[in-house]
Structure 1
Amino acid sequence: MEKHSVAICFVHHAIAGLRSRGIAPEPVLQAAGIAPALLAVPQARVSSASYSALWLGVAAALDDEFFGQDSRRMKCGSFAMLCHAVAGSRTLAQGLERVVRYFRLLLDDIGVRLEREGVGQGEAEGEKDGSEDPARRGRRAALVLAATSDRAPGVFAQETMLIMLHGLMSWLMRRRVPVLLAAFSYPEPPYAAEYRLMYSRHLAFDQPATALVFDAAWLDQPVHQDERSLKAFLRDAPHNVVVKYTDRASVMARVRRQLRAQAPEQWPTFDRLAHDVHMSPSSLRRRLMEEGGTYQQLKDEMRRDLAIEALSHSSRPLAEIAAELGFAEPGAFHRAFRRWTGLRPGAYRATPAQA
């Protein structure tokens, strides 16, 4: 599983439902390995494993797997039953239509519909045999969110729904389904850069509706999951829903694979990296910029997430972690970690929840 980190703003969102119901969030945060003191640090991040544990903790405390974001509770066990309902689908289209119908039963305030260009309703619902029509190649499909009551869904409700939908899509296909465009009905939030990892490199705000747009050809693809593989998926949920599958086709994913195969102190120079991925340095630089990043940014993000994972879930000495991450001396690691998260590594680990 990928070792990503999650911005502290999403921790604030996740515990808002606890606070609105008068439940103290501190015990739930500590049980997830998240220090409550981190809430006061705007740049702070937590490991994806800790955020997944928080998801489960909040769900258990509220008996609601939707964080209290809807008028009706999505009771614990609902997501597992949803996965059972879609695991035997013939095609992704049929699976997504089952998801659409299931959410109509689970939630009152937010719904989702599947749209596909130039396709009748019966076909969009996966009623046909799933064979691919070449005439439809290149067309777009979308999962579109909509309010289904007088209570408009908040930003976090929409974010949570998109994470669930994309996670389910990617699981059904056994790979991350590329999102061509993630559109949002609300203004761009201060943490919008996180969306590029969560949803897509291509974002649009202040749109008529919140939606994930993808190539319609995916809808005709056969589902690669069944009841047997479902058990493994649920065993790792919600971590595998939060992190999802990597977009293996992107240049960034190729670079990350190259870096993960080596210890950080052995990471190649940019020119050597370009040679390793069979691209010229100028082409690699351009492609990375098109995908919203640079080589240095990728190295920093991977070191940051590896550091957060080590500090959150191990007791190894800071000097050892610094050396493992490729820093020549601990002071450089301390400065970099503070730049990434707003805290020195010792202070991040010193709080009671970081054990």
Structure 2
Amino acid sequence: MEKNSVSMHFVRSAVQSLVKQNIDNQEINKIMQHCKIDYSLLQDDSHRVTAEQFSQLWLSVAQCLNDEFFGQDSHQMKVGSFVMLCRMAVNYHSLKSALIAMLRFFNLLLDDFYSELITEGQYSRIQITQRNQHTGVLASDLQSSPQPARIFGHETLLILQHGIICWLVGRRIPIFQAGFAYAKPTYSVEYQLMYSAELQFDQPYTSLTFDSRYLQLPVVQNEQTLRGFIQQAPTNIVLKYKNYSSYSATIRKSMREMTVDLWPDFDTFASQLNMTRSTLRRRLSEEGQPFQAIKDQLRRDIAMTLLRQPEKSVTDISSELGFAEPSAFHRAFKKWTNQTPNEYRQGLRK
């Protein structure tokens, strides 16, 4: 998803929701005109619409169907459910408690999708499993699902759930890895821009994996900020929440613009930001981003990018990342990804 724009693939999926509910062409054309989207370009994969146009389409389809989940579930998510969900979530103190409550809310509303939070040490994930429509059994519990994945349903849940939790804590939560319970679509590059460069397909469930430390972040929204959020929704959900003014974002941006060997130390950043060491350390802790974690995340991302270049040896990459010995890089990469650098490379070839 390019900045402030949405692929025509998602527009088609939203329009298809109307078609499947037997909404006549005249009404569909009226909705498209209202959203200022050229119906003749619907099949043009090279065309994109603005986030505002897609958001207007989102609202129009939801109003037309009285379903904020666009007919993707056998049970309607009636208009107003989203507002009720957000109003409930702001009353929790931590992201973990708010996220658990949010997922339970979705499970109460939807019959065909089951969402849960799974924590395994350093990483946690939002996990979405599609139920068998006839038996109620989760697809992950079967050898193979007898019904095709409702791809737009999975995509819509991810957009909603990730967007809401980012807003709750006042910052975008970076996704380490995204998994999908269906085959790789032709537009999968959109997922890389929306979520993560690390994508897995044909998985038993759809998921977003992130650092468990984010679960301890406080919910910073309240009834007052909720009003503005609702007024801007779903544009702010589609674009995700980005707090470019946060201290961790400022440090991360600065480090990304230089090679690892030129990265300033903690004292230098504290001086540049005109604060004491203890104040900066406290600010970063409040954002759930200690200085060492910022460096580790950037090194991990750079390592993954470099490992995709077959001409670079692991030793060269280790040196480029500032590790004194390749063995130290091996240990760090294993900690970050649960894989050795060579195992990661082998996985890329599959």
| Aligned residue type for 1:155 | I
Aligned CA RMSD, in angstroms, stands at 3.2
**Residue 224 of structure 1 pairs with residue 220 of structure 2:** yes
Task: Check conservation: 1:74, 1:106, Cα contact below 8 A.
Answer: yes
Q: What does residue 182 of structure 2 align with?
A: 186
Task: Check conservation: 1:110, 1:149, Cα contact below 8 A.
Answer: no
**Residue 57 of structure 1 pairs with residue 40 of structure 2:** no
Q: What does residue 296 of structure 1 align with?
A: none
CA distance in 2, matches of 1:291, 1:77: 46
Identity %: 39
Q: What does residue 300 of structure 1 align with?
A: none
Unaligned runs of 5+ in 2: 135-146, 264-297, 308-350
Q: Give secondary structure in 2 for the equivalent of 1:195.
A: helix
Task: Check conservation: 1:17, 1:68, Cα contact below 8 A.
Answer: yes
Task: Check conservation: 2:4, 2:51, Cα contact below 8 A.
Answer: yes
Equivalent of residue 277 in structure 1, options 257, 261, 268: 257
Deviation by residue 1:270-310 (Cα, 9 ceiling, x = unmatched): xxxx9x934489999x9599299xxxxxxxxxxxxxxxxxx
Deviation by residue 1:189-239 (Cα, 9 ceiling, x = unmatched): 000000012121211111221111111111111111111111111110000
CA distance in 1, matches of 2:47, 2:304: 25
Deviation, 1:158, is: 0.3
Deviation by residue 1:28-85 (Cα, 9 ceiling, x = unmatched): 1111110101113221111111000000010011011111111111111100000001
CA distance in 2, matches of 1:140, 1:73: 32
Deviation, 1:147, is: 2.1
Q: What is the aligned length?
A: 252
**Residue 203 of structure 1 pairs with residue 210 of structure 2:** no
Equivalent of residue 147 in structure 1, options 127, 130, 135: 130
Segments of 4+ moved more than 3 angstroms: 246-249, 276-284, 286-289
CA distance in 1, matches of 2:212, 2:182: 25
Matched ranges for 1:66-215 at <5 A: 66-117=69-120, 139-150=122-133, 153-215=149-211
CA distance in 1, matches of 2:200, 2:243: 20
Q: TM (normalized to structure 2)?
A: 0.65
CA distance in 2, matches of 1:178, 1:291: 20
Deviation, 1:243, is: 0.4
CA distance in 2, matches of 1:19, 1:103: 25
CA distance in 2, matches of 1:51, 1:177: 23
Task: Check conservation: 1:32, 1:53, Cα contact below 8 A.
Answer: yes
Q: TM (normalized to structure 1)?
A: 0.64
Q: What does residue 12 of structure 2 align with?
A: 12
